[in-house]
């Protein structure tokens, strides 16, 4: 059994109305516990709709979504699912509820009915895990975008989440904030085996994943390791996406007749490959 199993997910908004719109069509995939998966796709390709099926915020029009063996359509199981699958949304300003950082992190555990002493321990642990404990008394509007997103991550960790979905959580951040958030979640992924699902427009973030899913018009059109997905740069451009710069450069050099390994993803990969090719 995989941690997340999506079978033939289809979602139709406004079914039967004039504005009927099929946002997801027959999407199937599995995600293993501890995996780091990136989801790519142009705006409107159905990425966010897909993500919202994975913690039962949306229910499939047809098809099934199971998390840790539980069905998102069963009302008695959905709370258990949401506890295990935390979500960080795009706009850092619209997901913190309380006027003080530590109270916000406590929001999830409070909803779960934990004992006050246990909540305090969870909040402390979660804020430490994202490096925000010194800001625990701060009001959210005094924090930077990256810091707000880290608080949102802590809010999920405090519920003992097993999996974190970042729904374009870095899209509205400056480069520093983006780095803060990605470093934080990658560290959690490595140290705690947190399952990571990253919806993003930043190809460098996707390049660090174990696996990449590519969406187009509500369909899952490609999945595989990043090197494999990015190998076909023209195809990604056709889908309205991009590839990491190192991949792009390598692609152009290959077009010029140069022999380079297929799995170049990062700057370091490219530099190493070019160094090896260079005859002093």
Partner 1 sequence: MLNNIMIGQYFPGDSFLHRMDARVKILLLLILLMEVFVFTSAPVYSALIVLTLALILFSGVPLRMVLRSLKPLWWIILFTFVLHLFSHPGKELCRVWQFAITQEGVAQGTLISVRLMLLIVLSTLLTFTTSPLKLTDALESLLSPFKKVGLPAHELAMMMTIALRFIPTLISETDKIMKAQQSRGADFVTGSVLSRLKNMVPILVPLFLSAFRRADDLAMAMEARCYRGGAGRTRMKEMKLARLDYISLVVFAVLSLGLGVGFYR
Partner 2 sequence: MSIELRNVKYIYMPKTPYERIALDDVNLTIEEGSFTAIAGHTGSGKSTLVQHLNGLLQPAAGEVLVDGVNINAGDKEGRIKAWHARQQVGMVFQYAETQLFEETIAQDIAFGPRNQGLDENEVGERVRQAMELVGLDYQKFRDMSPFALSGGQMRRVAMAGVLAMRPKYLVLDEPAAGLDPRGRDELMAEIQRLHKKWKLTIVFVSHSMEDIAKMADKMVVMQGGKLRAAGSPAEIFAQDDLLQETGLEKPQIMQILAQLQQAGLPVDTRAITPEAGLRSLREVFHLC
**Is 42 or 112 the residue whose CB approaches partner 1 more closely?**
112
Chain residues that interact with partner 2, rule: CB under 8 A: 42-44, 90, 144-145, 171-172, 174-177, 201, 203, 240-242, 245-246, 248-249, 252-253, 256-258, 267-268, 270-271, 274-275, 277-278, 280
CB 195 within 8 A of CB 165: no
Q: Within 10 Å of residue 210's Cβ, how many Cβ atoms?
A: 15
**Local structure of residue 3 (DSSP, 8 states):** S
**Is 106 or 233 the residue whose CB approaches partner 2 more closely?**
233
Residue 44 burial (CB < 10 Å; 0-12/13-18/19+)? middle
153 binds partner 1 (CB under 8 A): no
134 binds partner 1 (CB under 8 A): no
Helix (H, G, I), strand (E, B) or coil at 7: strand
Q: Supply the minimum distance, in Å, between the C-beta of residue 198 and partner 2.
A: 15
Cβ-Cβ contacts under 8 Å for 168 (sequence gap 6 or more): 47, 48, 89, 90, 199, 200, 201
100 binds partner 1 (CB under 8 A): yes
C-alpha 162/C-alpha 154 separation (Å) is 13
Binding mask 27-56 for partner 1 (x = CB under 8 A): -------------------------x--x-
Helix (H, G, I), strand (E, B) or coil at 213: strand
- Interface residue list for partner 1 (CB under 8 A): 52, 55, 57, 79, 82-83, 86-87, 89, 91, 93-100, 102-103, 106-116, 119-120, 123, 139-141, 152, 155-156, 159
């Amino acid at each position: 059994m995989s941690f997340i199993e999506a079978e033939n997910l289809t979602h139709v908004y406004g079914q039967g109305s004039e504005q009927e719109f099929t946002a997801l069509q027959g999407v199937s995939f599995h995600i293993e516990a501890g995996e780091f998966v990136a989801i790519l796709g142009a705006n409107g390709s159905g990425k966010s709709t897909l993500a919202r099926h994975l913690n039962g915020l949306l229910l499939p029009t047809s098809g099934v979504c199971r998390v840790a063996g539980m069905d998102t359509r069963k009302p008695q199981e959905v709370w258990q699912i949401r506890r295990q699958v935390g979500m960080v949304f795009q706009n850092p300003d619209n997901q913190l509820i309380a006027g003080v950082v530590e109270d916000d992190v406590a929001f999830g555990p409070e909803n779960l009915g934990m004992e006050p002493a246990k909540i305090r321990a969870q909040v402390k642990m979660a804020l430490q895990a994202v490096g925000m404990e010194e800001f625990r008394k701060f009001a959210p509007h005094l924090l930077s975008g990256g810091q707000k997103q880290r608080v949102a991550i802590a809010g999920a960790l405090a519920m003992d989440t097993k999996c974190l979905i970042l729904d374009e959580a870095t899209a509205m951040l400056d480069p520093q904030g983006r780095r803060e958030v990605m470093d934080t979640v990658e560290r959690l992924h490595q140290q705690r085996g947190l399952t990571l699902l990253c919806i993003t427009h930043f190809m460098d973030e996707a390049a660090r994943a174990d696996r990449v899913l590519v969406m187009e018009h509500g369909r899952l059109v490609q999945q595989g390791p990043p090197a494999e997905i990015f190998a076909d740069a023209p195809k990604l451009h056709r889908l309205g996406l991009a590839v990491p710069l190192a991949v792009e450069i390598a692609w152009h050099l290959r077009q010029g007749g140069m022999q380079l390994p297929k799995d170049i993803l990062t700057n370091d990969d490219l530099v190493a490959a070019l160094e090896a090719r260079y005859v002093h």
